[in-house]
Amino acid sequence: MSTPSTAPTGPVHVTGTVLTTRAVGAYTHLTLVAPGIAERMRPGTFVAVSVEGQLLARRAFWIHRVRHAGGHGMTLEIVVEQVGAGSRWLAAQPVGAKLAVTGPLGRPFALPKRDADPVSCVLVGDGHGAAPMFLLGERLRERGAVVTMLVAGADEAHLLSALEARRSARSVTVVTEDGSVGSRGRVADHIGEVLRRAAADVVYAAGRPSVLRDVAEAAETHGAWSQVAPELPLTCATGLCQGCPLPVVGEDGVARTVRSCYEGPVVRGDRIRWTELAP
Amino acid sequence: MSVLEDLRLRGPVLTASGCGGTGRELAPYVDLATLGGFVTRSITLAHRTGAAGRRIVETPSGLLNAVGLQNPGLEPFLARELPWLHQQGARVIVSIAGASPGEYADLAQRLAVAPGVSGIEVNLSAPDQRGSGVYDVREPFHAGSVVSAVRRETPSRVPVLAKLRSDVVRAVEVSRTVAEAGADAVVLGNALPAAMPDGRPARLSGPAVGPLALRCVAQVCQQLPALPVIGCGGIATPADVRAFLDAGAVAVQVGTAQLHDPMTLSRLITARQEDA
Ligand code: FES
């Protein structure tokens, strides 16, 4: 059916195994052996996990990192924030636990063409929405892009891997709402200045819709392209149920509702009808 | 197999309307050609954007949904989705919904002659908001008039399925009415009327509604033994499939379980093959 010369594409559903689990600030990082998913992933794609018991919706997580791990082949890391019964269950899974995992799901961030002139990229990660940004930063650097990062969180515990950011980016701005580390404030207070300093051509962002709206507006003011991945509640995460409406405007100027998990999660910031998504 | 053949089904395990996307999203997890049938989400004449805001909420043993019939409308469906599904070898059963019997009839007229349509499923369990106050399609009288309007526009070689909700009080009555109006089979049931935590109208599906659907299936099979019944509601395991078939259903549709685990259909089909 498939031609062996092309890289495998499309999601797969596998039984994954928890290889490591560790608490990092307010989050739990899980490394999973999930054959086939890491090989197919691109920054911005995610996985969905079934929770045991009576919870019927699936839980979606950014693919944070992929790496080779000895005899296990490629592994992937997800970042779990414990916000409800499902994420609490997942964060409590011990090493060796088996999980029903589907991925990679969703449309990834678009990268600049390989032979294009160097592009200045600003990457904005809000809370655990910063998870896909580190790998994205690496891929962009491989393509010769100049990468600037803005990593934001409510406080130090909700700041994802600011240290790692320094490895993936030329310059890093850290912002916390309580000022516990980095500059005090919200993304909206700092994004304009970061875009100006970086002379940004493209802005990539993931996180809460209200934060992404500010990023998209700042990008527009600055004259940059924006690609944003709003975090919305997903039910199936596979495009089957239409439970994740994302209000957009099509290329033809017509207002549409697309599925965040399938036509997204990454879409152009200037295409989202923000008043309907993030009032 | 003869009832299945009459209904142009390939086996006893089908998708439930609204839980298989356009088919393309399902294809990575199950070979569409192995499904008894692929039932589309409900198609309306004009494009519908569906409900705004939170659409699906988890409850113990069930999902609440207020999706609101989002679909591209008949013409884009015919142009883009149907030919692709047909190419995959899927038996396509098109679910239709309208705000009046006339709209159902128009849909049936166009679909009945479209290449690749194996059957029409008339969605009679969710009142169309646009028709509300005028007629409630769940009422036996209205359900019957919709089915006869559809039947008139559909050649007899294309089966018409009537999808009803699991209403233990009226399942037999509605089934009899739609059968007399020309339905070749009934699908029992669908998500049940419920409310979101904020009070908005919603519909409940999943394991919670399974026993209700089974009760309706058993009742209708006993009292109307000549009418083929397809069971739908809370089906997730081979044992669930068996229970519905033992109660007299000729086939089952799988919905919510597929959202929890996209391999469910594939697993159930394999289990049936091993059983056979
Ligand atoms: S969550 Fe089901 S379609 Fe997106």
Q: What is the pLDDT of residues A251-265, one digit of tens each?
A: 899 999 999 999 999
Measured between CA atoms, the residue of chain B closest to residue A239 is B25
Average pLDDT over residues A188-204: 97
Measured between CA atoms, the residue of chain A closest to residue B206 is A56
Average pLDDT over residues A134-159: 93
Measured between CA atoms, the residue of chain B closest to residue A50 is B260
Chain A hits for B52, CB-CB cut-off 8 Å, are 245, 247, 276
Note which residues in 67-86 of chain B have CB less than 8 A from chain A: 67, 70
| Cα separation values, B51 from A99, A107, A168, B201, Å | 32, 23, 41, 11
Atom of ligand 1 nearest to the CA of A260: 4
Per the structure block, which two tokens stand in for B240?
A: 């669930």
Report the residue from B24, B55, B61 with minimal CB separation from A243.
Answer: B55
| Best residue of B260, B264, B265, B266 to probe chain A, by most A CBs closer than 10 Å | B260
Global confidence as pTM? 0.93
B156 burial type by CB count under 10 A (0-12 exposed, 13-18 middle, 19+ buried):
exposed
pLDDT value of residue A5: 46
CB of B28 within 8 Å of a chain A CB? The answer is yes
Cα–Cα distance measured from residue B208 to residue A209, given in angstroms and rounded to the nearest whole number: 33
Pocket of ligand 1 (CB under 6 A): A 234-237, 239-244, 259-262
Q: Answer for the pair A132, A63: CB distance below 8 angstroms, yes or no.
A: yes
Per the structure block, which two tokens stand in for B262?
A: 């996209």
Q: What is the pLDDT of residues B189-218, one digit of tens each?
A: 899 999 999 999 999 999 999 999 999 999
CA of B274 to the centre of ligand 1 (A): 31
B122 burial type by CB count under 10 A (0-12 exposed, 13-18 middle, 19+ buried):
buried
Contact A257 B60 (CB under 8 A): no
CA of A233 to the centre of ligand 1 (A): 9
Q: What is the pLDDT of residues A14-29, one digit of tens each?
A: 999 999 999 999 999 9
**Min Cα separation B25/chain A (Å):** 6
Whether ipTM tops 0.90, in short, is: yes
Contact A241 B259 (CB under 8 A): yes
